[in-house]
Homo-oligomer: A and B are copies of this chain.
Amino acid sequence: MLNWLLIFLPIAVYLEFSHGNPTWIFIASMIAILPLAGIMGRATEELAIRAGSTVGGLLNATFGNATELIIAFFALKAGKLEVVKASITGSILGNILLVLGLAVFLGGLKHKTQVFSQKNAGILTSLLTLSVLGLLIPAVFDLASVNFANFAQPADLDFRLSVAVAVVLILIYLGNVYFSLVTHKDLLSGHEEEGHEVAKWSVPKALGILLASTVAVGFMSEFLVGSLEEASQSLGLSEFFVGIILIPIIGNAAEHASAVVFAMKNKMDLAVTIAIGSTIQVALLVAPLLVLLGLAVGQKMDLVLHNPLELVAVVAGIVIANSIAKDGESNWLEGLMLLGVYVLLAFAFFYFPTVSAAAH
């Protein structure tokens, strides 16, 4: 569907190697990621079908947020830690407010009241609440410690606490995988409703395409990050805004598409599972992995959010997800309001350009 956008892949490569205008490199590589993410998702699914439900589920779960992880990894390697952290927050907000909002709104325009399993949504929002609150502990710790004058080396403490949080969250992630694939595989089986799909690609083909698209996403991410500084300046955006709004929209494009498609087919359980499940993944896997990958590439990335607005927005996101999920029903007005809150937050984040730099 979006495959014609692949034309931006060679354009981005050409611009990069001909030292073209960074703004155009930035835009071309960003657009090129969209179809590549779709292809990665498709190849993962093909492999997952061949692999059977357990290993396949694991594959889907692990590669679900691969695009985001790759972009963030290249930003991390380039030392753009604030962008990486902004993209984590932005991904959480984007999934809860934008992905879920679009799905609920567009689904709600077509179907008057859409129902979904309160039980499934209840388990998902409980996991969401616990995982995101765990992720926020270093930020709150830092906020608390700056209130105390004679507090030695908070930066390093922040980092040590972040590593501890990352390790605990990854353990919980492993627990979550074991839970979904072994002890409670029947419970969160939203995706299997889709019908018994038949794999269309051979395993070598799927593997080859997965490899090629992953490599391509990697290159595009490197171009994107390399042109980020100049492009954002010439576009009048802050790097923080790019990290918190643009990168998550690109990184989550696949989730957006499938959640909206399922919502319009009135399969709200799948839409809710994608939006909230993806948020849980960001908190339990993507964010902690980035802290540990930072250790590997020599970047001390902590999980401290320096903008209190981010912190409050994420907590508000949790409250909203709980509130939306609790009644097992949705309608277009709820979707409109989710989108409204997202737009207002984007507007507020837009006004933090010079600030995020000044904060350090």
Cross-chain contact of A338 among B130, B141, B313 (Cβ < 8 A): B130
Size of interface on A: residues with Cβ below 8 Å to B = 76
Q: Is the CB of A326 within 8 A of B122?
A: yes
Q: In the complex the two chains form, is B329's CB within 8 Å of A119's CB? A: yes
Within 8 A of B (CB), among A325-349: 326-327, 329, 331-334, 336-338, 340-341, 343-345, 347-348
CB of A216 within 8 A of chain B?
A: no
Contacts of A355 in B (CB 8 A): 145, 148, 151
- Which listed residue, B134, B318, B331, touches A319 by the CB 8 Å rule? B318
Copy tally for this chain in the complex stands at: 3
Is A209's CB within 8 Å of the partner chain B? no
Name which of A79-87, A160-168, A254-262 contacts chain B.
Answer: A160-168
Partner of A323 from the list B112, B322, B327 (CB cut-off 8 Å) is B322
Q: Are B184 and A331 in contact (CB under 8 A)?
A: yes
Residues of B within 8 A of A313 (CB): 140
Q: Are B172 and A347 in contact (CB under 8 A)?
A: no
Question: A221 at interface (Cβ–Cβ under 8 A)?
Answer: no
> Bound complex: CA of A181 vs CA of B250, how far in Å?
37
Chain A interface mostly: helix
Q: Pick from A70-78, A200-208, A293-301, A304-312 the stretch touching chain B.
A: A304-312
Q: Is A183 positioned at the interface, with any CB of B under 8 Å from its CB? A: yes
Query: Does residue A125 face the partner (Cβ distance < 8 Å to B)?
Result: yes
Q: Does A1 contact B (CB under 8 A)?
A: no
> Is the beta-carbon distance between B333 and A175 smaller than 8 angstroms?
yes
Q: A134-B341, A309-B144, A332-B183 are in contact. Are A358 and B149 (CB under 8 A)?
A: yes
* A183 vs B187: C-alpha distance when bound (angstroms): 34
Q: A152-B354, A171-B340, A176-B333 are in contact. List 4 more A-B contacts (CB 8 A).
A: A118-B327, A125-B323, A130-B320, A319-B322
What is the interface of chain A, defined by CB distance below 8 A to chain B? 112-113, 118-119, 122-123, 125-127, 129-131, 133-134, 137-138, 140-141, 143-145, 147-152, 157, 161, 164-165, 168-169, 171-172, 175-176, 179, 183-184, 187, 307-309, 312-313, 316, 318-320, 322-324, 326-327, 329, 331-334, 336-338, 340-341, 343-345, 347-348, 351-352, 354-355, 358-359
